[in-house]
Amino acid sequence: MFDSFESLVRIRRSVFKEVAKLAYEGDYERIEEIPYQLLNSEAKRNGQAKYRESIFLERAIVAERLRLAIGLPVRSADEHSAISKGIDEAITTKRFYEPPLINIIDFACNACPTDSYYVSDVCVGCLANPCRNVCPKNAISIVNGRSHINQDLCIKCGRCKDVCPYGAIIHRERPCQKACGMDAIESDEYGKAKINYDKCVSCGMCLVNCPFGAIADKSQIFQVIQSIKSDTPVYAIMAPSFVGQFGPKVNLKTIDDAMSKLGFAGVYEVSIGADLCTIEEAKDFLEEVPNKIKFMGTSCCPSWSVMAKTVFPEFKDNISMALTPMVLTARFVKKEHPNCKIVFVGPCSAKKLEASRKAVRSDVDFVLTFEELMGLFEAKEVDFNTLESKPLKNETTADGRGFAVAGGVAQAVVNVCKKMAPEREIKVKATQGLRNCKAMLEDAKKGKYDGYLLEGMACPYGCASGAGTITQPTKTKALVGVSQRETPLKNSLESVYSDRLEELEERGV
């Protein structure tokens, strides 16, 4: 995601590719050479740094990214150890994870300025001095003919910026901090970013908004490939937003062949579970709103769900208890293929934590983002132009596939409600971005959304713009629309698996 950060994206995806190659080949000692090969061969610049002040710093940062991509913890700058330290424990066919999921590589962080207002060179020292006149704390004075802001007095109200006729006052924000809807990015004693994990919901927006590439999440690429190399069949379940992620040649007709070249036993769409989740949420809404609860929130976005239950504990019963599409699909596949392993492939980091939670058994063994899966394709040098058309082993509906885009979940639930209770009016409020989601729940506290179905998505555009996506969200939205129009079954109630819902829910917590 965020291709405007081209160099960072290229490095991140190169690391995923190299870790996948390492896992497939089994020559794990080669990891020590990768920072040199990856950086030096890229531009053939004879040891000269391209992105940082030192080639040694560049290699050190890549080394930590390699460790995180294997699932290993970040080393501190004063730790003397090999990149491969701990890799023996990571060579496993089981989930390998030690918190935290989202990590900051300290020596990659630029200690960017936090929330502040700054007078730029555009200031001409005008006679009116509107910035000084509107400041409620007298924080602005004229120094050498230009406005100057005393940061000790400034309360960051922004009035000076609003009234400056020259646009000379700049609001500076730390990009990762600005992107975090949970205000979980703080500063350490050196001014570098640190994550307050009591607030973090692992949406991943910080890691794709850091211009210095200092933030990364742990990957399960290494363990997925170890499982593929074992005798246990490994099935992939693909989130609806996968369409278009890997280019026009990888689509609903060719994804099965593409994944088979990586060693997967088969592919299922998570839209199966989306249909079942829709039916369950529609039933819950019709039965509980407004008789038991004033409103109901959707359940499929884990970052939204965790935020709602932690920031607004009084609303924990208002968030649907329906199992998510990922969990329902995984249970379905494991019922079809006992003793298999399941890899959920999707757009976000938060699903990695959802798959690991103990409150509800997910039946998901591993989670990969689309970016991480592309690393596998590149490592195996899969030629998308030679893929064969194979029908997927499932049937789904247009509404189930619509979960990929903002508003799609709520629309699917409304469509089912209209079939079940045509006389009911279903009022909906859908929003994206955690700050907006929090604002929506603040309004709900005031009674603004009594009787409503609320859809919350942590990422702008919904799942189509998750931190692990590859394609621009507008393009993904368009391609999801095409897939919906081409799907014969429209309403989730038409799902051929609707009679399996009770059975899958009974598989336990």
Please check the confidence at residue 1 and state whether its pLDDT lies above 60: no
Q: What is the DSSP string of 377-404?
A: HHHTT--GGGPPP---S----HHHHGGG
How far apart (Å, rounded) are the C-alpha atoms in residues 58 and 214?
11
Residue 2 scores a pLDDT above 80: no
pTM for this structure? 0.94
CA dist., res. 364 & res. 344, Å (int): 7
Which two three-digit tokens encode residue 374?
A: 């592309």
The rounded distance, in Å, linking the Cα atoms of 328 and 447 is 32
Q: What is the pLDDT of residues 230-250, one digit of tens each?
A: 999 999 999 999 998 999 999
pLDDT score at 306: 97
d(CA 159, CA 137): 11
Q: What is the pLDDT of residue 429?
A: 98
Question: Per the structure block, which two tokens stand in for 34?
Answer: 């990768």
pLDDT band at 41 (very low <50, low <70, confident <90, very high): low
Token representation of residue 132: 């000084």
* Summary mean pLDDT of the chain: 94
pLDDT by residue (tens digit) across 271-301? 999 999 999 999 999 999 999 999 999 999 9
Which one, of 219, 227, 261, lies nearest residue 339 by Cα? Answer: 227
By C-alpha distance, which of 73, 71, 5, 61 is closest to 34?
61
Distance of CA 256 to CAs 282, 388, 469, 481, Å?
Answer: 31, 9, 19, 21
> Does residue 45 register a pLDDT over 60?
no
For 43, 127, 147, the CA distances from 131, given in Å and listed in that order, are 48, 11, 8
Structural domains present in the chain: 6-109+185-218 (no CATH), 116-172 (3.30.70.20), 223-500 (3.40.950.10)
Mean pLDDT of 124-142: 96
For residue range 68-118, list pLDDT tens digits in order. 999 999 998 889 999 999 999 999 999 999 999 999 999 999 999 889 999
Q: For residues 40 and 35, what is the distance between their CA atoms, to the nearest angstrom?
A: 8
Predicted confidence (pLDDT) at residue 47 exceeds the cutoff of 90: no
